[in-house]
Structure 1
Amino acid sequence: MKRLFGIVVAMLYGGSAFALVWSTGMYDGFARDPWLSAASLVVCITAAVSLAYISTLLMVFLTGRSPEPGDPEAFDWHLLVPCRDEESVIAATVSAARSSFPGAHLWIIDDASDDGTASVVRRLMEFDDRIHLISRVRPDARLGKGEALNDAYRTVSARIGDDPEMRRRTVIGVLDADGYLSDNALAAIAGPDAFGDSRVGAVQIEVWMKNRNDMRPLPGRGRIANAFGRYLVRMQDVEFRTTNSAMQLFRVQTGSVGMGGNGQFTRLDALDAVAERFGAPWGRKLSEDYELGLHILELGYRNHYTRAAHVSQEALPYGRRLLTQRTRWAQGIMECASILPALRRSRTVRPLGLLEVNFFMSQPLLMMLNLILLPILIVTAVVRGQFGTFDVGTTASLVAALLAYLILPYAVWGPIYRHIARDERRVRTGVLVGLGMLIYVYATYLYYPRAIGRMLTGRNAWAKTKRNADDVVPVPTAVSDRLLTVPLVDPVVLEDLAGELDQRNDLALEFVAAFAVMWPTRLARISAAIDAEDTVAGRDAAESIRVSATMVGAGRLSLVGSEMTDLVRAGDFEYARRRLQLLSDIGTETVDEFRTNYLAALKGID
């Protein structure tokens, strides 16, 4: 009953917009011109459908329930991370995944990187046998993300073996090279609504922006540039956690959930079925993730989406890069239209789901039609005097209509975001976020025309989006004489540690290995806290570094960690930012010292 009521309200809302626009008299003179009549009808219908769709998403989002978690031990987890020139971010991603999910295997796919991505991974592999490296070499590399994932699928598939039950309970996750899973991710997607249901072949989790609180997303740039960068980053977080999430929750109801490129999880036997039918799980479309989801639906599996867990990724603070990224996504979605005939013939998706998929894929074309037709209709109506005269009442009605149909459907997400993000700032912050979202949403008119233009001209090659960290030039920091007198690693502390563990070198090795693997995560946490100028989080992160370093005898790192604690407590974030490079260098040197001079001894190797 609640769902039916929501649908009726959404239809009435969209229909009222149609009726209001038609009643303005703008179209009265078009009856004599069939082309203008058809154009006006198209604009009215698309506007009404879009408003009905948006209001439906809003009601679905607000009436969602909290799902039950499941037992992650019931599944065998393998996380794939495709990489190409990801030296700046991959260590923290590997560290976060292995620290949060010690039972999962992590497969890093190095797609012929020109930087030190593979070297970073190999150094971590020496401390953790569940970290694996798949190295791709030209000319068989750099053929797209889908081909890299297919290579990893074959490798993992061979490792799992042919046991059908084992393949059914093996889940393959895909993370971006900068992706951090929430600690409850595996439990959430093991729940009864997700992989706890044997009919579910794939699950997508919510996406957050991990740099959403960064006060200076563009280091070295001025205030205006950083303000614009903060706006873009925040809007991407709002977008993914509200409208995009609402769309996926609606798809749960229609049976048409789509897969995203980050935070997608699929049963191995579902990937097997896709590979058997189509030759490989992932295709060569620009949105190979959405393509995979459609193929899984076509084969009769269900896709599921949950907000109970999330994956955090890096938002883009650069307008040009964001435009390029979204143009690529739009083009990739439109490429997937070729799958629709087979999806309809399969009869595995119910009619409402097919309608949703068709509407989603047609949005770029519908927006282009509006972009072309609406100005023509308005100019024609003005020239012909079809608006009539404006009095106070007419003007007030027009303003009310603008608020109700052009502003409210998008601005309302600002206060909702403030609530779900547990933002304790003033209510007006939510209103400002909503108005910012309004501008951000209408910017889609910039990248849809570009996507259509590229498709019409046959262009589908794209350069990889650069990471934000790639633009940061490390600033050398002086090492004080006092710091140089402190050893990187004190062997006496390690001996004492082994003694406390009953001379168990294996336990001491686990302790040191855990410290080494966890180091990039600790560095990422304090960097994020300092970027956000968060005193509490920064103090906790610095203390975590100091305490853990002290326990393993990393004296120099412990001393710098103590210094960072003092800087954060004093609120001197500017100087703390400058000291981050020193902290990073000493942490890396400490881990290298463990690897070079202590790892073999702890393993009992002469």
Structure 2
Amino acid sequence: MTPAHRESPAWLWAVAVILCPVYGTTASIVFVFSGTFGTFGNHLVRDVMLIIVSVISALALTYISLLLFTFLRREAHTKGQAADFEWHLLVPCLNEESVVAETVSAARTSFPTAHVWVIDDASHDRTGAIVRGLQDFDNHVHLITRVLPNARTGKGDALNAAYRQVGQFVGDNPHRRQHTIIGVLDADGYLSDNTLELLAGPQAFGDEQTGGVQIEVWMKNRNDKRPRPLNGRWKNLVGKILIHLQDIEFRTANSAMQLLRVKTGTVGMGGNGQFNRLSVLDHLAEGDGEPWGKKLSEDFELGLKILSLGYRTHYTRDAHVSQEALPYFRRLLTQRTRWAQGLLECASLLPRLRRAKVLNVAGLLELHFLMIQAWLSMTNLLVIPILTILAIVDGGTWLWQSTSQLLTLFAAIIFLVLPYAMWGPLYRIRAGAKVGWLNSLGLGLLFLGYVYLTYVFYARAIGRMLTGRNAWAKTKRNADDLRQLDTTPLHIIPTAAPLLDRAVVQQLAVELEGREEYAHELISTFAVIWPKRLANVQLATAAEDRDATWDAVASIRVAADMLGAARLAGTAAHMAQFVEAGDFDKLREALPALEQLGTDTVEEIRRDVVAASEF
């Protein structure tokens, strides 16, 4: 095929050429020639360290400036016809019983024509059973069961198993495979309702040179008031801050990086919300045996391999996938160490990209800078403390010796603080986050510390690589903690009412042109949608959003009434009273009862309607 070579816009080069020397000169004045960190020329080792810090600062500030310029230049995407493509969503799962039902339900509710393929990677919980239960009601839900010892060998292997199954399902027709799109969702991922239309547009898969598209990532629990339900007020405050910082990271800084990569032709694929053309995966399989590789960041690895074949990769902010953020530092540390190590492993693909000669100079520079960022971070981690200690030892009370040194120190702080703290206000301005100005400024300053945590992530990642440790460390789900809470149901369930009134179902059939199969289809749809409806109540209650909770509870009550699920409808009516009173503590206590009752109602549908009618 003809390589999808893309020239970078002229303004990108102009900004880089102008700013890099300016930043380099300024950094040299601040760090090398000001005397604040010692007199240049008196100590060779210190001189080298000062030059290194200046060069790293100039490169980092130039890169961040390019991110800022790109992020502020909003370019809307055009929708296409989703019906022009066939859509298959892959959901790799290992012990995901707490979230898989709502994820499958959300995907099938939003995208009725899409197929959802859950890969159960030898889970020891109820993941497989939950998916099989959904299959009873929906023939677009598929389960791929992997069994030990051929399971738990990495996410890439799980996705490759699904690729083979989907390939068999689609068949060998080249045109159909060209127009089949494979998406990858985390087990907690929700796609925005406009996703498939935007992916079908001319900037995405409407261009046949496009091999992969990544959409923006949001944190779905960003409004949770108690993200750490087993802990007290202060730990919950820390959890809320961590969640907001992750939302800032993905919706501003990470999004800006991807938008810049659109210009350089080097967009990377992420583990959640990536979409790839089946025919391109076939092309990869021809050369590599399988599309996805063995690296810890198998998603980013896949994107680089797609680029090496000459296909385009693209990114859009106008569609998004929501996932849960981690309110626990230890879990965040585990997750980000894995990501950092995976990124470092992908450096081995750079020679392949250079040999392919499909990227322009800007693209190659961007990728190489991305790969060396870990080493630059580690260099700063070592050098800056040494320079500071030497300056204090040599200068005594050097900070207060003159106004010029204080000003220089202030300039150095600006160099280290402003490029990262600015993302807090931009989170409010450009990402549309519902935070006030003061909160956005505070979050920006906290984001600075969050960014510097990458030093820890990269240090751990490098340590793991040097010691040969590359096992895939799974991050525990937040929802797993809720199972440790007291789930004693409240006495709000009208036990005298039936779980499912068959007379109502029969009346539905009469109203639907006398066709009982239409009634069966309607109540089966209720069973598929139920996990998403429950999740809507849980998310709204966690956020203590009165309007959203009212709507979510009302949705359950109305649907249950229509189907004759009187016990569920009555429970929802009781919960509506808690919403009206603004009593979210009572609502939280009632959620386990609602969940269990919904499960019982779905089981009743399965027994009395689906099984009885051989539906």
TM-score (norm 2): 0.95
Which of 568, 571, 580 is the aligned partner of 1:569? 580
In structure 1, give the amino acid aligned to 2:486. V
Q: Relative to structure 1, is the Cα distance of residues 601 and 207 closer, same or farther in structure 2, using a 3 angstrom cutoff? A: same
Cα distance in structure 1, aligned partners of 2:399 and 2:143? 71
Could you tell me how far 1:73 is from its partner in structure 2?
Answer: 0.8
Alignment of 1:282-321 (within 5 A): 282-321=292-331
Cα distance in structure 1, aligned partners of 2:42 and 2:278? 60
In structure 2, give the amino acid aligned to 1:591. V
Could you tell me how far 1:392 is from its partner in structure 2?
Answer: 5.7
Q: Relative to structure 1, is the Cα distance of residues 227 and 140 closer, same or farther in structure 2, using a 3 angstrom cutoff? A: same
- 1:14 is the counterpart of 2:23: yes
Alignment-derived partner of residue 327 in structure 1: 337
Cα distance in structure 1, aligned partners of 2:493 and 2:240? 39
Most deviating of 180-189 and 424-433: 424-433
Aligned residues: 604
In structure 1, give the amino acid aligned to 2:235. A
Deviation by residue 1:301-359 (Cα, 9 ceiling, x = unmatched):
11101101000001111101101111111011001111111111110111111111111
Alignment of 1:94-243 (within 5 A): 94-243=104-253
- 1:545 is the counterpart of 2:556: yes
Alignment of 1:178-577 (within 5 A): 178-385=188-395, 390-391=400-401, 393-394=403-404, 396-398=406-408, 400-402=410-412, 404-472=414-482, 473-478=484-489, 480=491, 483-577=494-588
Most deviating of 538-547 and 368-377: 368-377
Most deviating of 415-424 and 227-236: 415-424
1:24 and 1:387 in contact (8 A); partners too: no
Residue 152 of structure 2 aligns to a residue whose secondary structure is coil
Cα distance in structure 1, aligned partners of 2:493 and 2:210? 59
Cα distance in structure 2, aligned partners of 1:425 and 1:374? 34
Most deviating of 417-426 and 349-358: 417-426
Q: Relative to structure 1, is the Cα distance of residues 320 and 442 closer, same or farther in structure 2, using a 3 angstrom cutoff? A: same
Unmatched 5+ stretches in structure 2: 1-9
In structure 2, give the amino acid aligned to 1:582. A
2:192 and 2:320 in contact (8 A); partners too: yes
Residue 484 of structure 1 aligns to a residue whose secondary structure is coil
Deviation by residue 1:410-464 (Cα, 9 ceiling, x = unmatched):
1111111112443454321211111121121112121111111111111111331
Q: Relative to structure 1, is the Cα distance of residues 284 and 381 closer, same or farther in structure 2, using a 3 angstrom cutoff? A: same
1:29 and 1:386 in contact (8 A); partners too: no
Cα distance in structure 2, aligned partners of 1:426 and 1:494? 50
1:542 and 1:561 in contact (8 A); partners too: yes
Residue 277 of structure 1 aligns to a residue whose secondary structure is helix
Alignment-derived partner of residue 50 in structure 2: 40
Cα distance in structure 2, aligned partners of 1:397 and 1:410? 20
Cα distance in structure 1, aligned partners of 2:63 and 2:22? 10
1:27 and 1:386 in contact (8 A); partners too: no
Most deviating of 419-428 and 270-279: 419-428
Q: Relative to structure 1, is the Cα distance of residues 599 and 59 closer, same or farther in structure 2, using a 3 angstrom cutoff? A: same
What percent identity do the matched residue pairs reach? Answer: 53
In structure 2, give the amino acid aligned to 1:189. L
Q: Relative to structure 1, is the Cα distance of residues 388 and 213 closer, same or farther in structure 2, using a 3 angstrom cutoff? A: closer
Residue 497 of structure 1 aligns to a residue whose secondary structure is helix
Deviation by residue 1:27-60 (Cα, 9 ceiling, x = unmatched):
6645354433322211110111011111210111
Unmatched 5+ stretches in structure 1: none
Most deviating of 323-332 and 412-421: 412-421
Instruction: Report the aligned-residue RMSD.
Output: 1.8
Cα distance in structure 1, aligned partners of 2:88 and 2:196? 11
Cα distance in structure 2, aligned partners of 1:202 and 1:544? 36
Which of 577, 580, 584 is the aligned partner of 2:591? 580
Alignment of 1:63-102 (within 5 A): 63-102=73-112
1:26 and 1:386 in contact (8 A); partners too: no
In structure 2, give the amino acid aligned to 1:206. E
Q: Relative to structure 1, is the Cα distance of residues 478 and 105 closer, same or farther in structure 2, using a 3 angstrom cutoff? A: closer
